[in-house]
Amino acid sequence: MAIFLLSRASRSRLLKPSLSLLANTTKSTVISHSHPILNPNLNPFPSFQRWTPNLEESLRFVSIARICSTPSGSAEKEDKKSGNNSYDISWIDLYLPKTARPYARLARLDKPIGTWLLAWPCMWSITMAAAPGHLPDLKMLTLFGCGSLLLRGAGCTVNDLIDRDIDTKVERTKLRPVASGLLTPLEGLCFLGFQLLLGLGILLQLNNYSRILGASSLLLVFSYPLMKRFTFWPQAYLGLTFNWGALLGWAAVKGSLDPAVVFPMYISGVFWTLVYDTIYAHQDKDDDLKVGVKSTALRFGDSTKKWISGFGIACVSGLALSGFNADIGWPYYAFLVAASGHLGWQIWTVDLSSRADCNRKCQLADSIQCFYFLVPDLCPTNGLVPLFVVGFYSEDSCNKGGTAGLQCSDWAVY
């Protein structure tokens, strides 16, 4: 934009005198005036002609404008290397009032992948609980979708308030609203209360069993940010927190829990989280060592791929057991095999020494989106049952600039 305004100003205010000069002089005179070195004996330009910009001055002027309006080349290279997109413009900057932007960033509204990761287990169990021949309860899907957005935002707020001293020492997190000083801790607490109040409104629309079960998840949400200080397994604790919806979604539909179906689903979600968040933790392992926090990336070290391969096998096995106990037909397993192959490819190809590649692999799939499928159930009723597959949310279009300013680095749940 700066270049555009400068170029227009140059044409409207500076170029007109030179056009009048060209109209009243010969070609040879113009050439000699444009190149004074070729003919140094010519009379100097009149005063108004001296303001006519030549090519060298224009390029110099444009270069200065670019330097003032864009980050330095070294900074851009460092951002690409580290996966930091701090200079990216998101929809928050384009459409929200200036006073609301820090709060939207605190809730990570410009990074929706964490919301999807929280919502998927809820959708799995709601779909699994649907009666054969019927679609999942759309009201429940909507409520849990909104609840995932609010709870993820509340979790991010708690995390940033507790970790504000650590975040200032980590390259990827130092520009977060509380750590950078855009918001005070008191403002963050007020925003947390607002999000929890909205979440309470959603929770009260569920049955009593689900209300108690949902409220109990807050203990996990508030304590998770502390785990990295005490254990090398905060990713496992995150799995317990983020897959609570596998229990809650079923309870919201059925009014109770069926351990044979929901517990394998919940445990498989925990292992799923261990896979993607361990890969993600490799982005920050150097900074984690400096500030003294723990992670599975530091715990596993060079053996990470062996560990997450085991977690991936456990995840797929849990989903298969859950589907078997729910008497779902063979198409469920066909899609599960396809999803397993993609998960295996992700683990096999990730470069744990590259922050950028860890970030890409943490999207869980760059080009595959698995949502709900309705497939014929090969049961005697010959009805339709909702089929769920491990949901892989795609951020590929975001990485390639396909969506309006969504930032894909720092996509983490918290």
pLDDT tens, position by position, 247-303: 999 999 999 999 999 999 999 999 999 998 999 889 888 888 888 899 999 999 999
When mean pLDDT is compared across 24-33, 165-174, 272-281, the lowest value belongs to 24-33
Band of the pLDDT at 235, cuts 50, 70, 90? very high
Band of the pLDDT at 363, cuts 50, 70, 90? low
Q: Does the pLDDT value for residue 344 go beyond 50? A: yes
Q: Does the pLDDT value for residue 60 go beyond 70? A: no
Angle between helix 55-69 and helix 2-10 axes, rounded to 10 deg: 150
Cβ neighbour number for residue 42 with a 10 Å cutoff: 11
Q: Mean pLDDT across the stretch 58-71?
A: 39
Q: Does the pLDDT value for residue 238 go beyond 90? A: yes
Band of the pLDDT at 99, cuts 50, 70, 90? very high
Q: What is the dihedral of CA 288, 289, 294, 299, to 10 degrees?
A: 120
**307, 278 in Cβ contact below 8 A?**
yes
How far is the C-alpha of 126 from the C-alpha of 304, rounded, in Å? 33
Q: Which of 235, 239, 222, 237 is closest to 295 using CA atoms?
A: 235
Q: Does the pLDDT value for residue 84 go beyond 90? A: no
Identity of the amino acid at 82:
S
Cβ neighbour number for residue 132 with a 10 Å cutoff: 15
Phi then psi for residue 394, to 5 deg, are: -95, 130
pLDDT at res. 394: 36
Give residue 180's Cα distance to chain centre: 20
How far is the C-alpha of 280 from the C-alpha of 299, rounded, in Å? 14
**386, 127 in Cβ contact below 8 A?**
yes
Cβ neighbour number for residue 138 with a 10 Å cutoff: 9
pLDDT > 70 in the chain, percent: 66
pLDDT > 90 in the chain, percent: 42
Please tell me what DSSP assigns to residue 331: H
List the Cα angle 301/302/307 in 5-degree steps: 80
Bridge partner list, 394: 365
Q: Mean pLDDT across the stretch 370-396?
A: 37
Per-chain mean pLDDT for the chain:
74
Identify the burial level of 402 via C-beta atoms within 10 angstroms of its C-beta, where 0-12 means exposed, 13-18 middle and 19 or more buried.
Answer: exposed
Q: Does the pLDDT value for residue 11 go beyond 60? A: no
User: What element of type H or E holds 374?
Assistant: strand 373-376
Band of the pLDDT at 387, cuts 50, 70, 90? very low
Identity of the amino acid at 55:
L
pLDDT at res. 371: 38
Q: Does the pLDDT value for residue 142 go beyond 80? A: yes
When mean pLDDT is compared across 71-85, 228-242, 397-411, the lowest value belongs to 397-411
Band of the pLDDT at 414, cuts 50, 70, 90? low
Give residue 254's Cα distance to chain centre: 32
How far is the C-alpha of 414 from the C-alpha of 224, rounded, in Å? 9
Q: If you search the block for the tokens 């010959």, which residue do you land on?
A: 382
Check residues 108 and 412 and name the one with the higher pLDDT: 108
C-alpha pair distances (Å), 133 with each of 14, 228, 378 = 74, 45, 12
Q: If you search the block for the tokens 């391969």, which residue do you land on?
A: 309
Identity of the amino acid at 157:
T
pLDDT at res. 165: 87
pTM for the predicted model, two decimal places: 0.70
Q: Which of 122, 90, 120 is closest to 105 using CA atoms?
A: 90
